[in-house]
A and B are shown apart, each in its own frame.
Chain A
C-alpha cells in the first residue's frame, strides 16, 4: 500500500478536520470554486510521498550533516514519513549503477513532480571536470535532473551563492546553481550550513502547503531570511548601551557584551540564528562568544577579515562612531542607532515588493 500525503499528516497528529480545512484554504488560495475542495482532499489523500533527488557538487557535505541534526521533525521522520529520499549520495544504500538507476526511475516516473535538492555547486572551468559525476561533468547531471523537477532547493551557501570554492580567485569557476538552472523555481536556503530546523521547515512547508514559500528578491524564504541576526540578537542591548568586547576573553567577553568590535557580522547578515538558534536551540555563534562570520551572505568570504570591524563594509552607516560608542557617549549611541535604522530602511526600500500575497498571510 502506498502511504499518501494524508496518511502522513494523520501520523503527524493532524486531524481529518484540520486536513479538510487545509484543503478548503488551499482551494481558496488558488482562486478555485469551493466545490473543488473535496477533489483536492481526494488528491492529497491518495498522493504518494514527494520524491526528492538530492545531489552533491563541489561541497563539504555540511548541509546533509546539518539536515540530519534536525530535531523537529526528526531527520528519521522526515526521511521515513515526509518525503521519499530516492537519491542521496550520503545516505543511499545503493552505489554506482544502482544509485543512478534510482534517479533515472524517479525522473521517469515522477516527471514534473519531484523535488531536486542541490548541495554544492558546479565548477565550469576545465569543461566542468573539476567535479566528475558518472565520468562526466557534474553540471551535466545537474541540468539533466533539474529539467523535469517541480522545484529546486539550493541548500546552503554553495548552491545559493558559490561559497568557499567560489571565493577569490575561484580557481574552478564554481557558480551558484541559478547560473545554470534558469527555468525552474529555485528556493535558496543559504548558510554554511543552513540551520537544521530551517532546512526541514522549508521542506515541510513545501510538502504541507504544496507551494513554494514567499521568497525575497534574492530567492530566500522570507520567513527565515528577512531579518538580520543583529535585529534579534540577545546581546543587542549591550550594543545599544555601548558595551563591547574589546579583546578575546576580556572582562566584557565574560560578561557577554556585544561582539561588534571584534568583527561580528550580525548587523549585515540575514538569517535566523539569533531566533531559531542552532542544534535544537542550544546556542548560536554569538552566544558562544564568537562573532557571526556572515556565512549566509553572498560573497561573505571576500568581505575582509572575520575580525575586521564592519567599518570596512560599505553601506554600513555606523563606522565613524563605533569607538565613541564604546566610550559610552550617550548622544553618539543615539546617532548610531539612528544610522542603523536608516540602513535598515534603505535595505527594506531596496527590496522589491514581495509576490502577490501580503505579508502575514
Chain B
C-alpha cells in the first residue's frame, strides 16, 4: 500500500513483516503484526483480537439481577470489574441507591483488585520483559543483598536469602527443564540489568506470586471466593454482625481483623518491594521513556472511580477523577458522559462485524453487532490459516470505540495524566517524585516506561485507599450503620415496564462501561465497552489507529525475530482480550450463521 498518514504517524507496510501470535503473558488471545524497515524500526503495526465469545448475546432475555455473574466471566484476571459495572448499570436503570456501607465495601473490594492485579501484572506478566532470568545465575548473593538493602527495608534481603534463592534457581535451570522461563529472550542486547538486580527481581517474582494470593482474601471475605467473588444488585451480599448471636455467620470482628491485617501487609509489600523494584529497574531503562508514546501525549480518558459519596459519580465524589484530554491539551479537561450518544461510539469498519453504514459509529444504547468474518484480498494464507493479515480490510474481533470521534488511551497512565492535569496532588506528587528520582523530563511519562511506572504508583495509591476504606467501614460499624443491601426494588414487580441505564467502572486496565436496556423485567439489550477495546481496537472509518498500534510505531527492534520490544510496549498496557472481544445484537435477534465472502 501507499504510505498512510494519520494522527502524525506514517504507516508503511512495505518492510519485512513480523508476526507475533500468540502474544504471551496477557489475558486472552492477541496477535500483533508489524512491518520493520531495514534498520529494524517498526513502520506499521497491526493489532488483531483473535477471540469472540458473544457473551452479551447470551444475556438477552435473562434476569437483570443475574447479569453480573455472566459478565463477571468476561474476565478472570481483572475479576469482579464487570460485575461491578453490571450492578451499577442495573441500579442506574432501576434507580436503586445503595447503602453507604455497601458502597464502602465495594470500594474496598475494588481497590483490593487494583493492588493485586497490578502486582501480578508487574511481576508475572511484565517483569520478564525487563529481567533476564538466566543472567541472575551470575549474581553474587552478597552483592545482591547489599543492593536490596540499599533500596528497601524489606526484611527478606540477607546474603543467605539470596544464596538459597540462587542455589534453587541454578538447580532449576540446570535441570534443563525451564518451565515458564523456557525459550525466553535471555541474553537479548536490550536486557540492561546487572546480574544482582536480575536475581533480586527473580526473588521478588516468586515472593509476589506467594503474596498476591493473600491480597485477594479480602474479596473472599466479602464475596465468598476469588477469582469471581459474588456481588448483588442493591448492595453487597455479605451482612454485618459484630455483636450478637450468629455473628460467626456474618462479617464479624475476626473477619474485619483479617481484612485489616491483609491491608497492612499489602501496603508493606507494595511500598517496600514493588515500588523500590520499579524504580530500580526503571533506572536501567530510561531510554524506554522515549519509546511507546502512542496516544498517551495526546488523547487519554478516564471514567473515574471510587465514589467517596455513595451513588454520586461526579468528580466531587470520585477519588480517581473522571475526564478526557484531547490533542495533548492538559489545560482543557473534557467532560465524559456515558449516556451522551455523540460522545462514545463504536466503529466496525475494520472489525469482524457488520453495520448498515460502516462509515458511522454507534452509541452502545443503539449499537449493532453482527459477526462478519471476512478477510481482505491481501491476506496471505487462507480463511483458516492466516499467515499475514490484510489490515486494509476487516482484521480483528475487537471493535473500535471512539471518544468524540477520536481514539483515546485508557488505563493507569491515562488516569494519572488526567489527575496530573487537574493538579490533584495525589496523582501529581508521585509522578513528579518518579520523574525526579529517574532524572527524566515530563515527556518521558508518555511512554512504555511511563505506563509501567503509573501502574506501580497506582498500586500504592490503591493499597493506601484500602486502608482509608477500611477506616470508613469501621467508623460506620461503630455508628451502627450496618445496612449492606437496599431491597426495596429487589422484586421485578416493582420495576417499570422499560428502563435503561449505564454503569461505569475504572478497571485496573482502564475505562469500562456497561449499558443495559430492560423490558418487561428481562434484559432487552446489554453492551460493554471495555478498556482493552479502547486500547487494542483496530483502525476506524477514517483509518485512525488505536493505542496499541500507535504505541508500537517507530520502535527500534534489536533482533526483529525476537519480539522483545513489541512485548514490552504491548504488555505495558496489560492486555485483556477476553474482555475486549464480545458484543451483542441489540435488537435481540439471534445471530445468523456468518457468511464468508
Contact = CB atoms under 8 A, between A and B. Distances in A.
A135 B179 contact: no
A164 B73 contact: yes
B54 A305 contact: no
- Going nearest first, the 10 A-B pairs with the smallest beta carbon separation are A256-B249, A62-B76, A93-B184, A255-B246, A285-B224, A171-B54, A288-B224, A290-B237, A290-B230, A135-B386
A58 B53 CA distance: 7
A98 B19 CA distance: 12
Nearest to A50: B177
Given A60-B578, A65-B77, A89-B24, A248 B234 contact: yes
B224 A3 contact: no
Contacts of A283: 220-221, 224-225
A133 B50 contact: yes
A248 B319 CA distance: 28
Contact of A254 (B19, B250, B591): B250
Interface in A70-84: 70-71, 74-76, 79-80, 83-84
B183 interface: yes
A341 interface: no
A59 interface: yes
Contacts of A257: 246, 249
A163 B193 CA distance: 44
Contacts of B182: 86, 92-94, 102
B483 A135 contact: no
B238 A129 contact: no
A225 to B, nearest CB: 17
Contacts of B240: 254
A1 B65 contact: no
B65 A135 contact: no
Interface residues of B, number: 109
A249 B183 contact: no
A190 interface: no
Interface SS of chain B: loop
A136 B484 CA distance: 48
Contacts of A128: 384
A135 B29 contact: no
B567 A95 contact: yes
Given A59-B578, A61-B77, A94 B171 contact: no
A307 interface: yes
B224 A287 contact: yes
22 contacts: A3-B171, A69-B227, A79-B179, A86-B179, A92-B182, A93-B24, A95-B20, A95-B23, A98-B562, A99-B22, A131-B29, A131-B50, A132-B29, A136-B386, A170-B58, A171-B54, A171-B57, A248-B485, A248-B487, A254-B244, A305-B62, A307-B66
A12 to B, nearest CB: 14
Give the one of B384, B397, B485 with max A CB within 10 A: B384
Contacts of B51: 58, 130-132
B65 A279 contact: no
Contacts of A280: 213, 217
Contacts of A167: 58, 70
B505 interface: no
Interface of A: 1-3, 48-49, 51, 56, 58-66, 68-71, 74-76, 79-80, 83-86, 88-99, 101-102, 123, 125-137, 163-165, 167-172, 174, 192-193, 196, 234-235, 247-250, 253-257, 273, 278-280, 282-290, 293, 295, 301, 305-307
Nearest to B262: A282
Contacts of B234: 248
Contacts of B246: 254-257
B183 A98 contact: yes
A101 B22 CA distance: 12
Contacts of A49: 175, 177
B299 to A, nearest CB: 28
A179 to B, nearest CB: 17
Interface stretch (B139-147, B148-156, B204-212, B422-430): B204-212
A165 B55 contact: yes
A289 B63 CA distance: 20
Given A129-B373, A167-B70, A249-B487, A278 B225 contact: yes
A130 B274 CA distance: 37
B175 A48 contact: yes
